[in-house]
Amino acid sequence: MAEKEVPLTAVQVEALVAMKMIKHSTQAFPTTVTGSIVGMDVGGKLEITNCFPFPVVEMAPESHFDTAAPNPAAAAPRAKANTVYQAEMIRMLREVNIDANNVGWYTSANMGNFINLNVIENQFFYQKELNERAVALVNDVSRSSQGSLSLRAFRLSPKFLAAFRENKFNAEELQKSGLRYQDIFVELPIEIHNSHLITSFIHQLEAPKQAGPTDLPQSLAALESNPSAKSSTVTPNLDNLSLSVDPFLEKNCDLLLDSIETHHTETNNFQYYQRSVGREQTKINNWLQKRKVENATRATLKQPLLPEDEWQRLFKLPQEPSRLESMLNSRQVEQYSRQIDNFVASTTGKMFAVKGNLLPGETAAK
């Protein structure tokens, strides 16, 4: 293992490991799956060389937050039974001379919906108990199914890790520490690595040679019906010319609206807490004022004064709700917003490119 002082700068994932995670996530989609990843820490780069899935076991809720939703698959990495299973698997890997250093865990996601308490507590468990340099790999199955691999690596930031360890998520502590929802995760760049043998094989792949000269196609239909074009491995993807709106855009907008509704609910709950504190504080001030007048009267009559701290026994201020849920929801809203921005950017660019054909009158007027 590398020295602890060297900060992590990147995560290198073997192509076979990526394929195993994709297969595991796709087979169980839309159910959340989790697994362990092993590898080595070399010079600030985390090299992931193997992985294995976690079995789903029923476990009692160990979260110190009452709002943690029960999800056996998502909570599997920190289950006691899976901790024993993971240690046994790593021991067997070590016996066959395979990298057997636990460097984190992986999970699947759908439409970027992975920022929740289960992910936070799993990563906190790994960074606190197993390996402080552990990472969480998130494979978004819905995004990967569109042809581009969506695999991201995250770690909890030191500032958030300290706040989560002490469970300090009230307004006063957050204001002192300056912790924001952007500070929850630290994302690391991912590199997909192939062995030299696989790289050599990929470079040897080539398109089949044409038997003779071919005529240029007269139309798009003729180009699509050409059998040589279909069989070629380097045929351009004509789907990129489609003007249809990405089908995932509507679903992302729905998820974004749900997160915004959750944000409004959390805001209303906090405002209700502030109103409750204001009412109780008013009662306490009235009681203190009344007690001071009474003590002034008793002092005039040379009678013993009554204690003025009895309000702590008579009145009870409501407990401030944790702001952790609001922070996670705000981070999830940012995630959905970025995804929508990526979806809209590609469609908007194509719309501007063909604007002259769609709105010929407006273009001519300009």
Would the pLDDT of 276 be above 60? yes
- Lowest average pLDDT, out of 31-40, 60-69, 331-340, goes to 60-69
Q: For residue 66, count CB atoms less than 10 angstroms from its CB and return exposed for 0-12, middle for 13-18, buried for 19 or more.
A: exposed
**Residue 312 parent element (H or E):** helix 311-314
**Residue 105 parent element (H or E):** strand 101-109
Mean pLDDT across the chain, nearest whole number?
A: 78
- ω into 70 cis (within 30 of 0): no
Would the pLDDT of 229 be above 80? no
Q: Work out whether strand 10-14 and strand 190-193 pair parallel, antiparallel, or are unpaired.
A: parallel
Q: What is the mean pLDDT of residues 259-279?
A: 86
DSSP string over 36-48:
EEEEEEETTEEEE
Would the pLDDT of 9 be above 60? yes
- 362 band by pLDDT with thresholds 50, 70 and 90: low
155 within 8 A of 136, measured Cβ to Cβ: yes
Task: Specify the pLDDT at position 207.
Answer: 58
Tokens of 223: 């180009």
* pLDDT tens digits for range 72-111: 566 667 777 778 888 888 888 888 877 778 888 999 888 8
103 within 8 A of 133, measured Cβ to Cβ: yes
Tell me the three state secondary structure of residue 168. Answer: coil
Would the pLDDT of 139 be above 80? yes
Q: What is the mean pLDDT of residues 27-56?
A: 85
Residues above pLDDT 70, as percent of the chain: 77
* In the chain, domain spans: 10-197, 247-365
Task: Specify the pLDDT at position 57.
Answer: 59
Would the pLDDT of 366 be above 60? no
* pLDDT tens digits for range 187-209: 889 888 888 888 888 778 765 66
Q: What is the largest CA-CA distance in the chain?
A: 120
Which is more confident, 199 or 349?
199
Tell me the three state secondary structure of residue 155. Answer: strand
Give the DSSP letter of residue 153: E
**10-197 CATH fold:** Cytidine Deaminase; domain 2 (3.40.140)
Chain centroid offset of residue 204 CA: 38
- 228 band by pLDDT with thresholds 50, 70 and 90: low
Residues above pLDDT 90, as percent of the chain: 1
Helix H segments across 126-246?
141-144, 158-166, 171-177, 196-204, 220-225, 227-231
* pLDDT tens digits for range 307-324: 777 777 777 877 877 788
Which is more confident, 150 or 348?
150
How many residues does the structure list for the chain?
366
Would the pLDDT of 215 be above 80? no
Q: What is the mean pLDDT of residues 202-218?
A: 67
Closest Cα partner for 154 from 134, 128, 140? 134
- 361 band by pLDDT with thresholds 50, 70 and 90: low
155 within 8 A of 123, measured Cβ to Cβ: yes
Task: Specify the pLDDT at position 69.
Answer: 45
Task: Specify the pLDDT at position 224.
Answer: 67
Q: Work out whether strand 45-53 and strand 10-14 pair parallel, antiparallel, or are unpaired.
A: parallel
- 46 band by pLDDT with thresholds 50, 70 and 90: confident
Task: Specify the pLDDT at position 3.
Answer: 47
Per-residue b or e along 102-135, where b marks 16 or more CB atoms closer than 10 Å to that residue's CB: bbbbbbbbbbbbbbbbbbbbbbbbbbeebeebbb
Task: Specify the pLDDT at position 63.
Answer: 46
Would the pLDDT of 349 be above 50? yes
126 within 8 A of 51, measured Cβ to Cβ: no
Would the pLDDT of 68 be above 60? no
Task: Specify the pLDDT at position 64.
Answer: 44
